[in-house]
A and B are shown apart, each in its own frame.
Chain A
Amino acid sequence: MGQVVLSGVTKRFDGLAAVDDLTLDVADREFLVLLGPSGCGKSTALRMIAGLEEIDEGTIWIGDRVVNDVEARDRDIAMVFQTYALYPHMTVAANIEFPLKARKVAPDERARLVTEAAETLGLSDLLDRRPAQLSGGQRQRVALARAIVRRPAVFLMDEPLSNLDAKLRVQTRAELVDLHRRLEATVIYVTHDQVEAMTMGSRIAILDQGVLQQVAPPQEVYERPANLFVARFIGNPPMNTMAGEVVQEGADVGVRLRGGTIPLPSGIAGVVRERDLAELIVGVRPEHVTMSADGFIEATVVVVESLGHERHVICDVAGPPFVIVRQSIDEQPPAEGDIVRLSTEADSLHVFEAETGERVDTDVPSGAAPT
């Protein structure tokens, strides 16, 4: 009942597509995160689902209904805004009660539901306060209470944690996940914070310039990014990427990079040969780069950064960009200025076509199955 389907949805502002041909299938009770850099169209997509923005092209279903022409109030959704958009002239109780009043719920039923929602979010002692008298975290919870009080099938949230300080954000993140579990409702959650996306989403949909890049569970997005954009966007410190030419020596296929040649695993080598690709971009996550005597690439250590629980060794490979090596704190750190050789396991290698940025892979998993 709570599934949301977008099919070929497009929204243009002054001829420019803010959301371009977006097709997305959100399962009932799923926690789907819309992730992307600022201005990529996340909010616009969410607002179209909410009914706050007209759709230029395409179809949106909520439940089994096409809602293109259904008013926001009739879509059985609730929305949490980044600014919370609490009504400043009303008490907390009146704020939570507002959606019920708007829907003409009987007074005693209203009182019961408000009490219940307030309890769920730990607001019972604050019901008589006004938003101005609350902390940021409390306001955020009032916004959530106002959303859940009416038990809609779908919750839409637009960066609901971005106005909280870092510590509160971590805590609220966990609370939101727990709330989602208890409510058994569908959540579509917009954020530009990849940590939020990785920790909260059952699946992540990544947008760039209005175009969907990949939809997959967090682990898969991390392990098998569908293209260079996703590869570079997800992960901190970001994935090391380097362009190079394909070189063949008999049956072996490698990529010649600055500082050395790296062999490709046989499966990918087969695809490269079959498709006759000449230029590739290879990527390796910092935790998968090791320093060893028999490494493929020679590099100079520029800086060693210690973060307490891990170390980042930043290496120069005869020109930018630097290669970042993530080291456990127990390992012996190199000295700045050392010449080291870098290597990696074959199956930690991500390979992309230089021309399109698309992943070169042996079998592409469907990735659609939500948990």
Chain B
Amino acid sequence: MILGLGLALLAHQRVRGIGFFRTVFSSTVATSVAVASVMWITLLNPQIGLINYYLGTNIDLLTDPTWALVAVSATTVWLSLGVTFIVMSAGLQGVPEDMLEAATVDGAGPWMRFRKVTLPLLSPTLLFSLVVLTINAFQSFGQIDLLTQGGPNGKTDVIVYNLVQTSRQVPGRAAAQAVVLFLIIFTLTLVQLRFLERRVHYEGGVGG
């Protein structure tokens, strides 16, 4: 579940230079988990799904033990894409135009401008996204319930889904799981903030 980072990067790649697709990319925000899941069930379907069609394969991606988790992850990624996209766009708006122009005159090409100016100025946004998306990924439930119900063989039985199932039978155990989940997320977030904050530049900040 290192999805958070993948997400941030994925959305970020798309953001670069393609203001054209803005609406399309943001549209997943407006899609509910249920709608998205149904859509993905169709896309992933071995007979009528576009994905198998383009891959030239005939796998039921949702019940295949190797692919189920990937398929569920893809759905989760897709679901978070809109929000990430919007957050990244907002972050990019915060990079002053004249700073990029200064870099242009200074002789930096597009790649150097991105790496040395845009990316550092975007780092607070990146950190924020990473933290939020990681938490989100840990808490995915709806899409799993609708797509795989934790199957096949518990391959997609991720923690929150498992927790909800357990709570129906052994509530005490579920409560304990919830605490553990909380601790995991808490620790992970703390670690992220701790290790990454040092590399993040905050505008006008004294340290760094």
Q: Count residues of chain B with CB under 8 A from any CB of chain A.
A: 23
Does the CB pair A87–B104 fall under 8 Å? no
Nearest CB to that of A146 among chain B residues?
B106
Q: Which residue of A lies closest to B205 (CB)?
A: A132
Whether A85 and B112, one on each chain, are in contact in the complex, defined by CB atoms closer than 8 angstroms, is no
Rounded to whole Å, the gap between the CB of B80 and the closest CB of chain A is: 27
Contact of A85 (CB < 8 Å), options: B98, B109, B208 = B98
B86 on the A face (CB < 8 A): no
How many Å lie between the Cα of A51 and that of B109 in the bound state?
Answer: 14
Q: Is A72 an interface residue (CB 8 A)?
A: yes
Interface residues of B in 78-131 (CB under 8 A from A): 96, 98-99, 101-109, 112, 116-117, 120-121
Contacts known (A81-B98, A98-B116); A89 close to B121, Cβ less than 8 A: yes
The answer to whether B108 touches A73 (Cβ under 8 A) is yes
What sequence of 0s and 1s flags, for each residue 73-107 of chain A, a beta carbon within 8 Å of any chain B beta carbon?
10001110101010111000000001100110000
Q: Is the CB of A87 within 8 A of B204?
A: no
A242–B30 alpha-carbon span in the complex (Å): 66
What are 8 A-B pairs with beta-carbon distances under 8 A?
A78-B106, A81-B102, A85-B96, A87-B99, A89-B121, A98-B108, A102-B112, A132-B205
The reply to whether A81 and B104 form a contact with Cβ atoms under 8 Å apart is: no
List of A residues within 8 angstroms of B1 by Cβ: none
B-side contacts of A77, CB under 8 Å: 105
Expressed in whole angstroms, the Cα–Cα distance for A112 and B175 within the complex equals 64
| Complex Cα gap A218–B205 (Å) | 43
Which 4 A-B pairs give the minimum distances between C-beta atoms? A102-B107, A89-B201, A85-B102, A99-B106
For B208, the chain A residues whose CB sits under 8 A away are 89, 130
Q: Interface residues, chain B, CB within 8 Å of chain A? A: 96, 98-99, 101-109, 112, 116-117, 120-121, 201, 203-206, 208
In the complex formed, the residue of B with least CB distance to A53 is B101
Chain A residues with CB under 8 A of B201: 88-89
- Could you tell me the distance between the alpha carbons of A98 and B112 in the complex, rounded to whole angstroms? 10
The number of chain A residues with a CB under 8 A from chain B is 23
Residue A52 at the chain B interface, CB threshold 8 Å:
yes
Q: In the bound complex, how far is the Cα of B48 from the Cα of A263, in angstroms? A: 97
Does chain B have a CB within 8 A of A292? Answer: no
Asked whether A199 is an interface residue with its Cβ less than 8 Å from the other chain, the reply is no
Taking the closest CB of chain A, its distance from the CB of B103, in whole angstroms, is 7
In contact, B106 and A102 (Cβ under 8 angstroms): yes
Q: Which residues from B are CB-within-8-Å of A83?
A: 96, 98
> Would A89 and B108 count as touching, CB distance under 8 A?
no
Closest to A105 in B: B107
Cross-chain contact B121 with A73 (CB below 8 angstroms): no
Query: Can you add 18 more A-B contacts, CB < 8 Å, to A73-B109, A102-B112, A132-B204?
Result: A50-B105, A51-B105, A52-B104, A73-B106, A73-B107, A78-B105, A78-B106, A79-B105, A81-B98, A83-B96, A85-B98, A87-B103, A88-B121, A88-B204, A89-B201, A98-B103, A98-B106, A102-B107
In the bound complex, what is the Cα–Cα distance between A88 and B116 (angstroms)?
11
A133 CA / B108 CA spacing, docked (Å):
25
- A99, B103: Cα distance in complex, Å: 8
Instruction: State in angstroms the CA–CA spacing of A164 and B59 once bound together.
Output: 68
Per the bound structure, the CA–CA distance linking A20 and B108 in Å amounts to 30
| Residue numbers in B under 8 Å from A50 (CB-CB) | 105
Counting chain A CB atoms within 10 Å of each CB, the highest count among B98, B102, B103, B208 belongs to B102
Q: Which residues of A contact B101 (CB under 8 A)?
A: 52, 79, 81, 85
Q: How far is the CA of A89 from the CA of B99 in the complex (A)?
A: 12
